Amino acid sequence: MASKRRSHAVYETTYHLVWAPKYRKGVLREIAQDYGFAIDTLAVAKDQVHIFLDFPPRYSIAKVVGLLKSIPASPVFEEFPRLRKQSWAGLCQNSPL
CATH classification at residue 65: 3.30.70.1290
Query: Does 97 reside within a domain?
Result: no
Residue 92 predicted with pLDDT over 60: no
- pLDDT tens digits, 36-90: 888 888 887 777 888 899 888 889 999 998 888 777 767 767 776 766 665 555 4
Query: Does 59 reside within a domain?
Result: yes
Query: Does 33 reside within a domain?
Result: yes
Report pTM.
Answer: 0.61
- All residues at 6 or more sequence positions from 4 whose CB lies less than 8 Å from its CB, including other chains: 10, 11, 12, 54, 56
Cα 49 to the chain's mean position, in Å? 9
Work out how many domains the chain is built from and give that number.
Answer: 1
Angle at which helices 28-35 and 61-79 pack, to 10 degrees? Answer: 130
